[in-house]
Amino acid sequence: MARNTGPQCRLCRAESQKLFLKGERCYSGKCAIAMKRPAPGKGLKDRSKKKSNYAEQLREKQKLKRIYGMLERQFKIFFYRAERMAGKTGENLIVLLERRLDNVVFRMRFAASRNQARQLVSHGHVAINGKKVTIASYIVKAGDTVAIRPNSQKLQIIKESLKEFTRSGVVPWLEVDPDSIQGKLASYPKRSDVTDINDIHEQLIVELYSR
């Protein structure tokens, strides 16, 4: 499974905002953005000038791609799949990304971050409708049950992550039973449900790929 193994905080610095790639650790005072560290690389003065339309579109694509922990080729596959669906391509893209198995595991509070959720999936700790699934990009369907497998339910990282469920619950399109450590995709998410990426302008991404 291809993935970005470089420093995560560098990605946040490149976008000049928190992407919350490390889950709860991004709320600490040691966050690169909280410490106001500059963007990586040289030529910062040139990059501070007014951006072109292409630069703005590219930055939106990079932000969304990095939030969901995807590489370019896979992100492009998801975009073209969203383009073939009925409705607005940008909103379809967000919905497809939210339905990725690693994201659903993260949203169900079984993992503290999408990176951690991806690791749980690839290591065989997650089952869908009773069958082990190790593909992080698997698209979960409405009515599917996502569960942590019995032999993995004692993992400390899962127990720690579930504490967030008691504090803030889950998104409205998911149902979770923390005792059995399983949940269900009650309905497909809507763009308005994904409030933590409201600063993403997906229409700019559509315009980028339409060039």
Hey, what are 194's tokens? 């994904």
Does residue 62 lie within any of the structural domains?
Answer: yes
- CATH of residue 124's domain is 3.10.290.10
Looking at the predicted structure, is the pLDDT value of residue 36 above 90?
no
Query: Does 1 score more than 50 pLDDT?
Result: no
Mean pLDDT of 164-190: 94
Could you tell me the pTM of the whole model? 0.79
Q: Do 83 and 127 belong to one domain?
A: no
Verify that 106 and 91 share a domain, yes or no. Answer: no
Whole-angstrom distance between the N-terminal and C-terminal Cα of the chain?
A: 29
pLDDT interval class at 198 (50, 70, 90): confident
Q: Is residue 51 part of a domain?
A: yes
Number of domains in the chain: 2
**Full 3-state SS string of 54-96:** HHHHHHHHHHHHHHCCCCHHHHHHHHHHHHHCCCCHHHHHHHH
pLDDT exceeds cutoff 80 at 68 = yes
Domain that holds residue 178: 100-188
What's the CA gap between 130 and 165, in Å, rounded? 23
The Cα angle at residue 107 between residues 105 and 112, in degrees rounded to 5? 75
Query: Does residue 63 share a domain with residue 121?
Result: no
Pair 123, 86 in one domain: no
Query: What span, in angstroms and rounded, lies between the C-alpha atoms of 12 and 59?
Result: 12
User: So what's the pLDDT on residue 15?
Assistant: 52
CATH of the domain at 53: 1.10.1050.10
> In the chain, what percentage of residues exceed pLDDT 90?
70
Residues 147 and 81 in one domain: no
What does DSSP say about strands 126-128 and 145-148: parallel, antiparallel, or unpaired?
Answer: antiparallel
Position 168 scores a pLDDT of: 87
